[in-house]
């Protein structure tokens, strides 16, 4: 691996000497914030692979589904459909809580301190 690294560094140095890296778009600007800055470092590669493959962790999909169902409920006029959506939302919430419990969130001191804020953040609409 050291051999590959040295070749890469040599080619970068050559490109700098030739001026190929001068005046690139965004030069002198700060780097954009890392989307995964709050993900533990040892999990970032896995998250990037999943994201690039169009997949998302189950808890993120559940969160997305809960938000969608929460948006549908207030505008649903059919009582039968409303009951179905309510059941589906309850099932998603139960699965989410079960998943988080299995991962030890409920035993975490930080979770107990911030539980209400975490729940609110995970179930509110994310417009970003």
- What is the predicted pLDDT for the residue at 128? 47
Please check the confidence at residue 25 and state whether its pLDDT lies above 80: yes
Q: Residue 115 and residue 14: Cα distance in Å, rounded? A: 53
Instruction: Indicate the pTM of the whole model.
Output: 0.48
Please check the confidence at residue 86 and state whether its pLDDT lies above 80: yes
The 10s digit of each residue's pLDDT in 3-14 is 888 999 999 999
Query: Are the C-beta atoms of 66 and 96 separated by less than 8 Å?
Result: yes
Q: Residue 105 and residue 111: Cα distance in Å, rounded? A: 6
Query: Which one is predicted more confidently, 116 or 94?
Result: 94
Q: Residue 8 and residue 21: Cα distance in Å, rounded? A: 14
What does the domain layout of the chain look like in residue ranges? 39-128
Query: Which one is predicted more confidently, 52 or 112?
Result: 52
Q: Residue 64 and residue 42: Cα distance in Å, rounded? A: 24
Please check the confidence at residue 111 and state whether its pLDDT lies above 70: no
State the DSSP string of 19-78.
Answer: TTTTT-TTTTSPPPPPTTTTS-HHHHHHHHHHHHTT---HHHHHHHHHHHHHHHGGG---
- What is the predicted pLDDT for the residue at 127? 52
Question: Rounded mean pLDDT of the chain?
Answer: 82
């Amino acid at each position: 691996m050291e051999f590959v690294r040295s070749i890469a560094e040599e080619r970068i140095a050559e490109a700098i000497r030739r001026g190929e890296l001068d005046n690139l778009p965004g030069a002198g600007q700060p780097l954009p914030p890392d989307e995964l800055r709050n993900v533990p470092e040892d999990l970032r590669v896995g998250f990037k692979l999943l994201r690039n493959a169009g997949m998302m962790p189950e808890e993120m999909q559940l969160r997305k589904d809960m938000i969608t169902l929460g948006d549908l409920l207030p505008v649903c006029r059919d009582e039968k459909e409303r009951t179905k959506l309510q059941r589906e939302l309850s099932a998603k919430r139960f699965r989410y809580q079960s998943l988080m419990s299995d991962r030890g969130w409920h035993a975490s001191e930080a979770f107990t301190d911030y539980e209400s804020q975490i729940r609110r953040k995970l179930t509110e609409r994310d417009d970003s």
